[in-house]
Amino acid sequence: MTYRWMILTLVGLMGLSACSGGDQAMPTLHGAIFDPPRALTDFSLTSTTGQLFTLSEHRGELVLLYFGYRTCPDFCPTTSIELRDLYQELGESAERVKVVFVTVDPERDDLESLTRYIAAFHKAFIGLRAEGDSLQSLMGQFGVIAERRPLGDDPQSYLVDHTASIFLIGTDGRLQAQYLYGKDYQDILSDLKIILKATPRTN
């Protein structure tokens, strides 16, 4: 699974602009920077909050978004734990950050089970669910790939090899950075603090 994930991640990074020196607004960020930030098409999906999650309604906040699935044996729980630790270390600044998990396995991740799963890491985290073209369109915006890998004859027994990255959406609603799996969450925390300090509150 490790090699397949590496291939999926490299494919998902196609089109990514890395910071290349010169005059950059925040040159000390640790993530793979989209320069300029990438515009995103607004989306509105069913969420574990009981209401639709609409990206444009979170302008002024930072959004940490990642794709995964509830029965993922490794990448997803590890990422979720690190995001929990990051969120807790943000302290009062956490109110300006949304952590959002999008399932790539809607067939097995119904909203009820997804709600229990995401709440087990932090009650403030939000799970999103979409199917078919809606999910594929959202994944396409971020260059995310997810491929089902059967484990046997049972159609419900499979893993999903998927791009394992955290995506940072800036306060203006544009895609600002991508953090590959394995990036120290302290680096992401540092980036968030830099951005939040440089970005005045909108209210």
Pairing outcome for strands 97-103 and 62-68? parallel
**49: its two tokens:** 């909050």
Residue 78 has pLDDT above 60, yes or no: yes
Predicted local confidence at residue 29, as pLDDT: 85
Sort residue 122 into left (φ over 0), alpha (ψ -120 to 50) or beta.
beta
Residue 16 has pLDDT above 70, yes or no: no
List of residues 6+ apart from 38 with CB closer than 8 A: 174, 175
* pTM for this entry: 0.85
* pLDDT over 70 percentage in the chain: 86
Predicted local confidence at residue 93, as pLDDT: 95
Predicted local confidence at residue 111, as pLDDT: 97
DSSP secondary structure code for residue 200 in this structure = -
**At which residue do the structure tokens 């734990």 appear?**
81
Q: What are residue 168's DSSP bridge partners?
A: 64, 177
Going by C-alpha positions, the residue among 111, 96, 103, 119 that lies closest to residue 169 is 96
pLDDT, mean over the chain: 88
The topology under which CATH files domain 49-198 is: Glutaredoxin (3.40.30)
180 by DSSP, 3-state: which? strand
Taking residues 63-77, report their average pLDDT. 96
The two counts, helices (H) then strands (E), for the chain are 5, 10
Cα Rg of the chain (Å, integer): 16
Residues 18-35 pLDDT 10s: 333 334 444 478 989 999
Under the banding of pLDDT at 50, 70 and 90, the label for residue 121 is: very high
The C-alpha atoms of residue 200 and residue 157 are separated, in whole angstroms, by 48
